[in-house]
Amino acid sequence: MPELPEVETVVRELKAYLPGKKIKRISVYWHKTFVNECTQKAEGQTVHSLSRRGKYIIINLDRSALIVHLRMTGQLLFQQTAETTINAFHVRTALHFDDGSRLLFNDARKFGRIYHVVSVNKRLQKVGIDAMDAQFSATDFYRMLQSRKMNSKAFLLSQQFVAGMGNIYVDESLFRAGIHPASVSSKISRTDAEKLFKVIRRVLTFAIQNMGSTISDYRDANGKVGNAQKFFYVYQQQGKPCVKCGTIIKKIKLAGRGTHFCPECQRLFI
């Protein structure tokens, strides 16, 4: 599933193509993909900017916005002309622009969604602060952790506190911060919370610089794969020795997800 770095990579690439383009027509090939919550018509409007919040891609139009969630296998692929070769066998929705270019929403598993809304904030009101938000501080993060008694894995996966991380970057961040994924959020010390905050920023920044991770279906807007998966220390590394101490990396189920960690290096706060 694409997480913040993969989504950010898509947004950065689409910024080079979409602003200024006028939507001529929208073709919906799988009805559930396109959720219209708006009385405005998207057709005839121009894309003025792109942004992101957590795992949501926001395409701002003149009077409304399209919010895209890629979910499991969604891809946004830009096609300059109808002749541009592109591997898209599961196109669920296509935005046709008046200059002949297109934005294809390709999604094999069909869980992805495009919401057409007037208010982005209203649609995303339950989504927490973006993990990379410049306004977000280590102190805010510590206070958030203190306010809940959840295991750290579930806390970081829940998008309502910090938005953007999924299974990969949660496991990698907790490992690098030396915090056991089952640690109770409110029991994590201030020093460790600040360390985790810095680590999260570093891990996400590094992954963005490497154009995200390609596990299965993720591709950027040009259909290219990412590189960050080459730098995983624990994610899908179960049975291999820990890079820090040599202990075998374990995989358990936590918060309903496969969770990877080093039983030796990661301290359990309970």
Residues with catalytic roles: 2-3, 55, 257
- The nearest distance, CB 104 to Zn ion, in angstroms, is 43
Cβ pair 220, 240 in contact under 8 A = no
Question: Cα–Cα distance between 196 and 266 in angstroms, integer?
Answer: 12
Binding flag, residue 265, Zn ion (CB under 5 A): yes
Q: Which of 43, 186, 240, 245 binds Zn ion (CB under 5 A)?
A: 245
201 lines the binding site for Zn ion (CB under 5 A) = no
How far apart CA 261 and CA 219 sit, in angstroms, is 27
- Mention every residue, 6+ apart, whose C-beta is less than 8 A from residue 237: 249, 260
Q: Are 21 and 46 in contact (CB under 8 A)?
A: yes
**Shortest distance (Å) from residue 162 CB to Zn ion:** 25
Instruction: Determine the residue with CB nearest Zn ion.
Output: 242
Q: Which residues contact 41 (CB under 8 A, 6 or more apart)?
A: none
Binders of Zn ion among residues 77 to 106 (CB under 5 A) are none
Considering only residues 61, 242, 254, 255, which one is a binding residue for Zn ion as defined by CB under 5 A?
A: 242
Contact between 238 and Zn ion per CB under 5 A: no
Q: Which is nearer to Zn ion, 32 or 267 (CB)?
A: 267
Q: How far is the CB of 243 from Zn ion (least distance, A)?
A: 8
Q: Using the rule CB under 5 A, is 244 a contact of Zn ion? A: yes
Number of residues written out for the chain:
270
CA distance 260 to 245: 15
Residue 219 or 260 with smaller CB distance to Zn ion: 260
Among 247, 248, 258, 267, binds Zn ion (CB under 5 A): 247
Among 150, 169, 262, 269, binds Zn ion (CB under 5 A): 262
The one-letter amino acid at 77:
L
Bridge partners, 251 (sequence order): 260
Nearer to Zn ion, 12 or 251 (CB): 251
- CA 79, distance to chain mean position in Å, is 23
Minimum distance from residue 236 beta carbon to Zn ion (Å):
16
Q: Does 177 bind Zn ion (CB under 5 A)?
A: no
Q: Hey, what are 255's tokens?
A: 């918060």
* Size of the residue set binding Zn ion (CB under 5 A): 7
- If the CB atoms of residues 10 and 234 are measured against Zn ion, the closer one turns out to be 234
Q: What is the spatial distance between Cα 90 and Cα 70, in angstroms, rounded to a whole number?
A: 13
Compute the least distance from the CB of residue 245 to Zn ion, in Å. 3
Q: Name the nearest CA neighbour of 67 among 27, 16, 21, 127.
A: 127
Q: Which residues bind Zn ion (CB under 5 A)?
A: 242, 244-245, 247, 262, 264-265
